């Protein structure tokens, strides 16, 4: 695969990560995707191919609960999404996950989601 765009580069990194990271029933995968204006997080069981919990900045309930000035395009909003996904996973009985940064650098909004999820009780 030739790398011609940023997306090609991210896809290549993503494939390299996914060779090593896989979610199971006992320890599902927490995957994060960021766009320019929104952030999405899911807890996925790769063995059955099911999404166990999800949270995103496009959900009206989470949008309303975000602190002032926070949205999906900034670190404060990403932290709110991390907290929400941890709470939803805990409601499903999930305490341990494997973190999948999905080809993005562990920095900024991706790091904020991970740290907020850890602070809210997820172990990874």
Write down all domains in the chain, each with its CATH number in brackets: 6-119 (3.30.420.100)
> 21-54 burial string, b = 16+ CB within 10 Å, else e?
bebeeebbbbbbbbeeebbbbbbbbbeeeeebbb
Q: Which residue do the tokens 């807890």 mark? A: 43
Band of pLDDT at residue 5, cut at 50, 70 and 90: very high
pLDDT per position as a tens digit, 7-51: 999 999 999 999 999 888 899 999 999 999 999 999 999 999 999
**Which pLDDT value is given to residue 67?**
87
Model confidence pLDDT, tens digit, residues 95-122: 999 999 999 999 999 999 999 999 999 9
Cβ atoms < 10 Å from Cβ of 70: 18
Contact 43, 30 (CB under 8 A): yes
What is the model's pLDDT at position 95? 96
Residues 15, 21: contact at Cβ < 8 Å? no
Residue 48, pLDDT score = 93
Query: Is pLDDT at 6 greater than 80 in this prediction?
Result: yes
């Amino acid at each position: 695969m030739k790398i011609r765009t940023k997306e090609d580069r991210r896809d290549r990194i993503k494939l390299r990560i996914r060779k090593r990271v896989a979610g199971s029933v006992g320890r599902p995968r927490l995957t994060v995707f960021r766009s320019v204006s929104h952030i999405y997080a899911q807890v996925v069981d790769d063995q059955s191919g099911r999404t166990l919990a999800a949270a995103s900045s496009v959900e009206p309930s989470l949008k309303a609960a975000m602190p002032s000035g926070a949205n999906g395009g900034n670190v404060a909003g990403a932290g709110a999404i991390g907290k929400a996904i941890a709470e939803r996973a805990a409601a499903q009985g999930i305490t341990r996950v494997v973190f999948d940064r999905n080809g993005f650098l562990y920095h900024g909004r991706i790091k904020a989601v991970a740290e907020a999820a850890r602070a809210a009780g997820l172990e990874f």
